[in-house]
Each structure stands twice: as structure tokens, then as C-alpha cells.
Amino acid sequence: MKFEVSSLLTKDRKIIEGPLLISPKRFEDPRGFFLEEWNEVEWIKLLKENGQNYHKFVQDNLSKSTQGVLRGLHFQINPYPQSKLVRCISGKIFDVAVDLRKHSPTFGQWISANLSSENLNQLWIPDGFAHGFLTLSDIASVQYKVTNYWSKECEKSLIWNDKEVDIDWPFEPNEKYKIKLSKKDEEASTFNEISKLNFF
């Protein structure tokens, strides 16, 4: 196997079914290293072994952010739900996924992972989750593969500091370290508002 796979735990030490932390295997020598970032045959096998269906990736996205930029928490609803495979190709981010599947025993709970150009880990986030990240390094570039095209009508956002979800973001806001949000993310919905709707 060219990847090591592990599940992630919530703050209450529960496993959330779906998201997976993926560590590609490195082949190192004095020159540096080589790894396969993604392989369709291995990917189909990986999903099957973890009880998930294969959905073809249709688009690759790239974002560049400065320290303190928080993007999210974004998700798309039917008929264009998106699953994502996220990795950080430069710098470091705190990556988060929130379970929005009403039938799930972990509905409203979240998992996180530090993704960086050093650890080269990837986070698989199936549809039914809100996704966002906080830039920890001076600059970070984040690349992600998605299983559906962007849809303005289907895109939704969960507010990053929702009190019910209660994400433990790894920072203390102060004069030197301020969160930078887009206008859309500043006006995102609360978990209470989202939970009243049947998105997934």
C-alpha cells in the first residue's frame, strides 16, 4: 500500500465515520524524496477498504493565504454535493471538518488535522461535511481535489466560531494575530440554522 490511512477523533474521543487522514509513503535517498500524491487504482481500493464509494474527481483547486486567513466552513448541498481531498503544498494549516449529516451519531461534531508541506498528509472529507482551515504559517498554499463543480446556488457556509460546534481553533486573537475572513464567511449561517434544514 502506498498510503497509510487513519480515522480521526472528535474532542470527545469519538471516531467520525467518513473523513480519513492519509499519509503518502515517501521513498527517500540523499537527493531528497519521491512519493505518489494520488493514484486512482489505489484510491478506489482505499475507499472500498474503508466502506466508502468511489466518486470521480472533476476539478483541482489551489488557494494561497497569509497567516490568520480562515477559509470556511464551506459545503455544497444537493444536487451538487462535494467531497474533497485536501493537502497543503507549502506552509501549514489547521484543517477542520464538521459533520452535518443528520442521521449521523456524530452530527455537529468536528475533527481536525495539521496539514503541512513537511508532513505531506492529506485529509479526505466526504460530502455531508463543512470544511474550513486556518493558516498557521506566514503563507500557505492549499490544493484540493473535488468530486463536483462549484455551484453558487448549492454553496453554503457554517460560521467558523459557532458556539454549539465549538471548534478549538489553535490561536488566541490579539492585536498581532487577527482572523481574516471574507465577507461571505463573516455572514455564514449558525449550526442551529443549518440543523433545521434537510441538506443531507
Q: Which residues are part of the catalytic machinery?
A: 74, 144
Residues pairing with 112 in the sheet: 96
3-state SS, the chain, equals CCEEEECCECCCCCECCCCEEEEECCEEECCEEECCCCCHHHHHHHHHHCCCCCCCCCEEEEEEEECCEEEEEEEECCCCCCCEEEEEEECEEEEEEEECCCCCCCCCCEEEEEEECCCCCEEEECCCEEEEEEECCCEEEEEEEECCCCCCCCEEEECCCCCCCCCCCCCCCCCCCCCECCHHHHCCECHHHHHCCCCC
